[in-house]
Structure formats: C-alpha cells, structure tokens
Structure 1
Amino acid sequence: MINKNEIHFRKANAADINIIWEIIQQSIERRRIDGSAQWQNGYPNLQTVESDVSKGFGYVLTVNNEVAVFVALIFNDEPAYSTIEGEWLTTGEFVVVHRVAVSENFAGQGLAKKLFDYIEDFVKSQNVLSVKVDTNYDNIAMLKILESKGYSYCGEVVLAGGVRKAFEKVLII
C-alpha cells in the first residue's frame, strides 16, 4: 500500500517527457493485451506528449518522486464534445481528462482512482464546474474507474476516428 504522503500531483515538465512517453507506450501495450482497440493506431505518440507538456496540459502523479501516472487536463476545449449523441450534465466551464496512463511499476495499486481524486480537487480549486472524460467501449478498466468515482454516462462522442463513451461529473453545484 502506498502512503498518501508519498504521492504528489504536479504539472509535468520537459524533464518528464521521456518517462511519460515510456509510460504511454506501456499503456498502449496494456490496451492491446486487454483486447482493446484504444490507442492502437499510432496515437498518442511522442509528439502528443511533447505538445501536452509544452502547452501546460500535462500533469503527473509521482510516488516517492517517481513519475507513476500521466494525464492531460484541458480546460474548456474539446471540439469533439460540442457534438454529443446524448446530453452533457452542464454547459459551464469544464476540464477534459485525456490520455490517462499508469506506469507498469505502479499498475494495480489504485493510482488511477487516486488520480481522479487529485484531478477533482485541482479542478474545484480552479472554480471549474465539472470534469468531462471519454473512453473506448472496450476500455473496461477505465469504465470501472469512472463508475466507481461517480461519473455519469452522458452519451457518445466521435473522437480520434471512433465512437467513444462520454462521461461527466459535476463538482460545483
């Protein structure tokens, strides 16, 4: 069990790019082994990671100063979310969660769930109304996390050439 005092959530920096890319590659392989079509078409790639970090979208969860989890958080901007087959819970400001990837060194330790706690606390601290996220129909691990964290299924969006399940959680009422 990881001690909460050992875990920190921070903005990713250029020095993190290589380890983030390694973690993304591990996650791509994990998706493949799990039989998921998600991330099997060359996306995300190293340029995606570099862009996330340079634009300030990249965040990491560290355990004892080792990067364990990566996520991209994008405020109020996901063009694919403007067209949903269904309906979002809110129309106000939101944060989009993309590219969650957990290091093999920390897989199965509940860090993806903890990541969402940190994301929600951070988003609330920014006075942003909600968190929106999408995932593949066959990404069972992420679907279970979203259900356990209280995210509501809102419908389908088309992203990266495929239909994805879209979820939202309202943080500020």
Structure 2
Amino acid sequence: MITNTTLHDTEEIFDLYKMASDYKKKISGVQWPEFDRNMIETEIKENRHWKIIIEGHIACIWSITLEDEQVWEERNADPSVYIHRIATNPNFRGQKFVEQIAEWTKKYALENNKLYVRMDTTAGNQRLTDYYIKCGFSHLGAKKILNTQGRPAHYHNATMELFQMKV
C-alpha cells in the first residue's frame, strides 16, 4: 500500500535513510549525508513524502517535488514530477520498489498534468544506472551540479546521473 508518511514516522524515516546510506556507501563508495530534519518534516507536512507499507511495516520511502531547477535548469520548465531519496528497508529488498514507485508516479503525474517523471542519482554506480533503465527510465547522462545552495550535501561538488520517463 502506498500512502503519505506522517510526522509520527519521522524517526523510522531517519533510520531508513541511515541504513540506505550505509548500503549505498558499501556498494558505490558514496553515501548520503544526514538529511535536515526540517526539510523532511516540511515534505511530510506538504504531503510530498511517501511510503510503501507491507504487513504494517514501512518497506520503502521516497519524496517528490514538482520543481527541481537546480538540477534540471532549463528542462525544469517541462511539466514533471521529480522523485528523490528512495530508501528501502533492508528486510524488504528485492521487491522491485523502484518499478512500483515509477508506475505510481506516472499515475500521479497524469492526474497532475505532468509530462515526465524524473530523478537523479550520484554518478558512479553503474549497477543502479542499469536498474533505473530496466525500470523504464531513459538515462540522459551525467551532469555536474553547479548551484547547490539549500541542497543536501551529496549535491555539493557532485556529478549526478539524470533519468526521465515520459508519462
């Protein structure tokens, strides 16, 4: 079941981000920073933070936004939904959550008159790039992020891989 996270989920969300970051570092050598609590709570309050629930447990989380000018620059003018920070509970790995999230986001995009579903990830993890392509995303290539003011630390001085799916 896909539903919005709540402020009650905040501690578990941060636990999942920590586990995902540790796993990401082990696989690719790159890890997420500790995310700003106010940023996450704002996403929750604005109903932009989501979860997949399986048997009463949070199996996966992610957030969305309808703008991402710092990463997508002039392409931000295209009506799009941007997926950020997918994190899977290790007990639920292998259940193709990215495919489920992509399908859910395509429906969300249609309901909100958007043309694309987009996302980015830190460059250097070919396995993840290949997986996103398998999930239906087109790989648009790598991009050095120049304007990182207000962004989480993993965007600073980073090259990101960009992905897009037409709705």
What TM-score, normalized by structure 1, do the two folds share? 0.79
Match of 1:36 among 4, 29, 48: 29
The 8 Å contact of residues 22 and 31 in structure 2, kept in 1 or not, is answered as no
2:95 aligns with 109
The 8 Å contact of residues 102 and 112 in structure 1, kept in 2 or not, is answered as no
1:149 is aligned to 2:149: no
1:167 is aligned to 2:163: yes
2:8 aligns with 15
Match of 1:96 among 76, 82, 86: 82
The 8 Å contact of residues 31 and 139 in structure 1, kept in 2 or not, is answered as no
Q: Pairwise CA RMSD of aligned residues? A: 2.1
Aligned length: 157
1:68 aligns with 59
Paired-residue identity, % = 17
Greater mean deviation of Cα atoms: 111-120 or 161-170: 111-120
What amino acid maps onto 1:72 in structure 2?
S
* 2: CA distance, partners of 1:105 / 1:150: 25
* 1: CA distance, partners of 2:118 / 2:83: 6
1:55 deviation in Å? 3.1
The 8 Å contact of residues 75 and 96 in structure 1, kept in 2 or not, is answered as yes
1:122 is paired with a residue whose SS is helix
> Residue by residue, what CA displacement relative to the aligned partner does 1:19-55 show, whole Å, maximum 9, x if unpaired?
111111110110111133141xx24344443232133
1:149 deviation in Å? 2.1
What amino acid maps onto 1:11 in structure 2?
N
* 2: CA distance, partners of 1:20 / 1:77: 22
Question: Residues 36, 121 of structure 1: CA spacing in aligned structure 2 closer, same or farther, 3 A cutoff?
Answer: farther
Larger proportion of helix:
2
2:47 aligns with 56
What TM-score, normalized by structure 2, do the two folds share? 0.82
Structure 1 segments, 4+ long, off by >4 Å, are: none
Gaps of 5+ in 1: 1-7
